[in-house]
Structure 1
């Protein structure tokens, strides 16, 4: 089993990574929490696969389990769904001593994490991510949020879990597109880390290879994110590195109106930012092609017609990461050497070579 400890100013928790871990999740949770009322929440796809078994495990350890689900998809990451789930907890008389478990992908982790952060001003939370995107990124670091319209993650809170349980075996139940989507975040991280992580990326040429090397890919990704989060929990400095590929990616994702998944948009955004900075001479020659090849090798998109839309610039300028008229653009000088450029929002079009 891989164990990674996240140590923050006011909290410490472990990320456990092991194939088959979901089969003993109840035992692991019982070591962290005393018996209490627990809301086990998943989308309606994941609920069918794993909810009943985990609920039985928890019940065997003395927990009173209430299972809830919601429609799968980004549209459920909303204030209306948050209200619906909150009302379920109120109806079941959940109090501050009770807890919530997010069992599912990134939407589940964000939505249920925000529910835990806001219900009675905060109740205990455990994250059990079942998608690759959630296992390598969103389940760790405490970011929880819902969307408003096309603006992603605009209403949220930093709220850390008490434990993260990652079972790579759950990836085998994912449709190919869902599996590959998460790989966009992995390549983004590997390009910043370099070394052994990038060498592993160079071995991945098919979606099947992602499954074969899942344990290593998850471990390297979480180690990188943990180091960044521990140095900058609330994104005032180095944590902004995690936005590599997201500045353009979020805009393209919004314009696609659901046609692109998050990881696919990050893939497109990562290539676009690399190319822009390579053209400016800030990224070493050939790096964009290297990154593009690794993403394309598993079938991820590396460009999009939405990049040519004049609406991209508007969305980027009004991104929630705009601070007093400036955007911090993350790029890589070369593989393993990330950097941040602070650019005035009114100069973004020129820097990123986007339509004005």
Structure 2
């Protein structure tokens, strides 16, 4: 597809999702595309991930499952795009479909609920943060709940917004379908547990690969946003990325987390408890303040809104540049 078309689709999708999100009524009636992909992943897991099979065969089965998933999802996106672009106002229809795979509005709302919950009490804050993180909320104090929310905001900005937008800009609706299918597979089977250590390896590695450019872009956008936000430091954000990002357990999440931590003078990540197990990790924003509060969540959300605005502006500038030539 022509870049001016895919960038235009991405711009409209970002604007539509930021304004309207994905209606709760549709979730109740027909579910969400990620839920549909999740059902296929669960089906493949049940039928291909057999216990007692040698590790290499389980790895091969996981690769087959990933290829089947990607083929189905990309094929569906390609077919929908081809059909819709052939009819009047089909461009808008494709963009609206793509917007369902972005998460600007829902991410903001979920993280904001954590701040609101903490205002009401620690129990409410824990309940709200349990909706967006995998760690045990009962092991978190107020600072831990706040850090978890801010870390989730940074990481999900990269893999829930920047990455799908980037892949839509590259490949239109099939591109964003490919990304969301792979990302959903990683979240479901890409864990280092006995069941998924081998079967989910292909999904985890592929997700790391396709998130690599987006995580760097997300970190860069946050640094730029810090320059525009009063009270934030673009210089410290850049320093934190250069110093700390490589020490994150994820090859990608460290970039936006370090940028956000440095911009706001916080220390994020570090050792955390997931499902009763301590996971060691590097600190993002080394030397920053560890005792985060609901006020820090709101500062992070303010920076997020500026950063997301820059992403939309970048998509618009790209589309305009290609249309001009």
TM over 0.5: no
> What is the TM-score of this pair, normalised by structure 2?
0.28
RCO higher in 1 or 2 (8 Å CA, sep ≥ 6)?
2
More helix by share: 2
